[in-house]
Structure 1
Amino acid sequence: MSQYASYTSYDGLKLRYRVVERPGSPEEAAPLVCLAGGPGRDAAYLGDLGGLDAHRPLVIPDSRGTGASPPSPEPWGYAFPALAEDLESLRTHLGLESFALLAHDAACATAQAYAAQYGHRLTRLVLVTPGSRLQGELPDDAEEIFESRADEDWWPDAYVAVHTLPTTSDLDEVRSLLLRAAPMGYGRWDAPQRAHAATEPAQLGPVPRAGFWQGVDEPARQALLARLPDVKCPVLVITGDRDALAGLRAGELVATSFRTAAVRTLHGVGHYPWVDEPDLFRPVVESFLTRGHDPEAHEGKHA
């Protein structure tokens, strides 16, 4: 069951969010707030995150200019530090003293910005297949994973699409190319993956996507990173060994920004673990949310 509601953010803009919960789930269960990536993608692609709604409600906001939420009145409102302020406004609206947060893809930057500023509000933090642009490094192992899959049927067309994308700014062509390149984001290219990928072109918002990384200069980035070691809540970084979009090393780099982080790599999984292997992804997250650790995860850097 999914229902929409609204909240008023720090600048007076009314934003929308969904509450996804299963009938019969425990009424006293604390919600899990879930942030969509893209950047600038309609949060509908998260679905129920492989059934994570079985034990707790999922609160899934539509960020500015995506889904049911209106555009930002100012361009800087799309930048990930500003989106973190939207999240704090949502927390206040929900009346939560503290909460667990899950973020996917680019939204992991928003989650890190939130943790740096409001880490005392977090009980658990799950970062799913993050990139490491915020850390200032772009590892090349995603390309290595892509090349290792060259014997798969979809690969030649995806290869052409990937190398054509940087040469065009036409939105319709970009969306077509993204769909052709989509198999590289999944552990395999079966019916569930094809259906999930087919939703992406229509879900991308070009304005919020363009504004996500804007206006964050080097001193601000360094100041944000400097605060992450002070985050006290347990942090779990989930990566997929077939993720040809983010790779594995980016998640490991993100984990080194925290003292309390561990990395769990899922086998046979791409950029969307809840689509590829929901029965593998869900127990890993559930275990972490209930116990605060995953016995099979390996630790990131600890000072």
Structure 2
Amino acid sequence: MAGTPTFTTFDGTELAYHLQGAGEPLICIPGGAMRASAYLGDLGGPADRRLLILLDLRGTGDSAVPADESTYRVDHQAGDVDALRVHLGAGARGPPRPLRRRQPRPALRGRAPERLRRTVRVTPTAWAVDLPVTAEDRLEGARLRAGGEPYDTAIAAYERILTDTAHGEEDWERAAPVFYGNWDETARAHWAANAWQQNEKAAEAYAGPGAFDPPATREALRRVTGEVLVLAAELDGNPRPALAARLATLFPRGSVDVQPRAGHFPWLDDAAWFAARVERFLAAGA
């Protein structure tokens, strides 16, 4: 896209990022996994107080496909975030604060975690620290919507996905409502966009063999001196709020909050609640 800012990362791959709003910068790292940053939208509207810097991970959105596709593995991508920080520079008030989706990255290993002032982790998975989400966890969140359509059909489809290796691709379409607090027009459009926003090949490699070293990552998290908010969602199965609370305890200054009546993409379900909660956390350290 013309005019989209780019930078060159450690292995020569050209990566893109998108700017929204004005104010103190906030780096936004997508999850997905490996879905273009467009799926984050405006994160509920904090762009009226923050300059959102939305990174397109390698091979997604406007970022280039790397010459070595093994670098899709998450630990290899750690250098991309460092390269973005160097590219942006550190202003008078210090480095931008990252808002991260999903995975607590092994990127923190040996990468100066003490530099992070405030970090928000939104509905994160925790494979990297050996806190797996079970099929029952996922179904527990989904079943909170039982008792009406389209949720009963979606829950049945999700059960087949999680327990029956013979499930069909159409079950993913049927199950889609369980990932959202409100299965409205916005949610349906968000789900449909995944078809062209996600790099499936990259997603398969993202958590490949060797990507995680849980003991080393846990040790790195203990060296994060900044405050960390783990934001879970009441209706989400990945993670359930209890697992999000366990993740928060791995940070010396970690805390957890749960967005009511929200699914895995909480900024879509109640944008005002989400934006206010994130802003309150970030502003507390100003």
Fold conserved (TM > 0.5)?
yes
- Displacement, 1:148? 2.7
Q: Does the aligned pair in 1 maintain the 2:25–2:51 contact within 8 Å?
A: yes
- Displacement, 1:39? 0.6
Q: Distance in 2 between matches of 1:120 and 1:269?
A: 31
Q: Give matches, 1:194-209, under 5 Å.
A: 194-209=188-203
The amino acid that maps onto 1:100 is R
Which residue is equivalent to 2:219? 226
- Displacement, 1:129? 0.5
Which residue is equivalent to 1:247? 240
Which runs of 5 or more structure 2 residues have no equivalent in the other structure?
A: none
- Displacement, 1:199? 1.4
Which runs of 5 or more structure 1 residues have no equivalent in the other structure?
A: 294-303
Which residue is equivalent to 1:89? 83
Q: Distance in 2 between matches of 1:57 and 1:217?
A: 31
Distance 1:290 1:223, change over 3 A: same
Distance 1:3 1:277, change over 3 A: farther
Q: Distance in 1 between matches of 2:218 and 2:278?
A: 25
The amino acid that maps onto 2:261 is G
TM-score by length of 2: 0.89
Q: Does the aligned pair in 2 maintain the 1:141–1:249 contact within 8 Å?
A: no
Candidates 127, 131, 135, aligned match of 1:133? 127
Which residue is equivalent to 2:6? 6
Q: Distance in 1 between matches of 2:35 and 2:238?
A: 16
Candidates 147, 152, 155, aligned match of 2:151? 155
The amino acid that maps onto 1:36 is P
The amino acid that maps onto 1:109 is P
Q: State which drifts further: 137-146 or 122-131.
A: 137-146
Distance 1:75 1:249, change over 3 A: farther
Q: Distance in 1 between matches of 2:261 and 2:69?
A: 39
Q: Distance in 1 between matches of 2:227 and 2:261?
A: 25
Q: Distance in 1 between matches of 2:60 and 2:87?
A: 20
The amino acid that maps onto 2:140 is E
Quote the RMSD (CA, aligned, Å): 2.3
Distance 1:189 1:42, change over 3 A: same
How many pairs does the alignment contain?
A: 278
TM-score by length of 1: 0.84
Q: Does the aligned pair in 1 maintain the 2:146–2:152 contact within 8 Å?
A: yes
Deviation string, structure 1 residues 109-147 (Cα, Å, up to 9, x no partner):
23x633762313322100000112222132443321212
Identity %: 31
Q: Does the aligned pair in 2 maintain the 1:145–1:244 contact within 8 Å?
A: yes
1:31 partner SS: strand
